[in-house]
Amino acid sequence: MFEHEFAGVNETLECIREENDTVSYTRNSSTDAKGCYSIPVRGDHEEEICVVVANPPRKGQCRQAMPNKSDRIILTKNMGAATQTRYFNPLGFMTQTTNLQCTDVVQELGLDRLHDD
């Protein structure tokens, strides 16, 4: 895997009320020089589904956000956590084509034969 730090990438935290599918809370942030970000949140969002979505960079080859199947984050004080800090899974971006340096690994793992059906 090739890793690059993306400074200035915008992220959006959205909390949605499940009963009527309306956005109830939104906060924006952007990554620092090391590609890290922090989103301060106000209020308790126990009854909402909250997700962080990254907006792909406009420059470079990595313009497509990687799918993240565990993109939800719990934002409530009522879960027994010792701290109010929550950690989210890393957000990533990918290219449309396989990097030539990765071809052997992609073939060895059989990823070149996978299809999104």
Total structural domains within the chain: 1
Q: How far apart are CA 29 and CA 12, in angstroms?
A: 6
89 belongs to a structural domain? yes
What pLDDT sits at residue 15?
A: 93
Q: What predicted TM-score, i.e. pTM, was given to this entire model? A: 0.65
The confidence score (pLDDT) of residue 96 equals 75
Q: How many other C-beta atoms are found inside a 10 Å radius of the C-beta of residue 44?
A: 11
Residue 4 domain-assigned (yes or no): no
27 belongs to a structural domain: yes
Residue 47, domain member (yes or no) = yes
Instruction: Give the tens place of pLDDT for each residue, 9-62.
Output: 888 899 999 899 999 999 999 888 888 888 899 998 888 999 888 877 666 666
The pLDDT of residue 55 is 75
Residues 6+ apart with CB under 8 A from 59: none
pLDDT reading at 67 higher than 60: yes
In a domain, 5, yes or no: no
Residue 115, burial from CB neighbour count under 10 angstroms (0-12, 13-18, 19+): exposed
In a domain, 87, yes or no: yes
Domain coverage including residue 29: 10-113
pLDDT band per the 50, 70, 90 thresholds, residue 68:
low
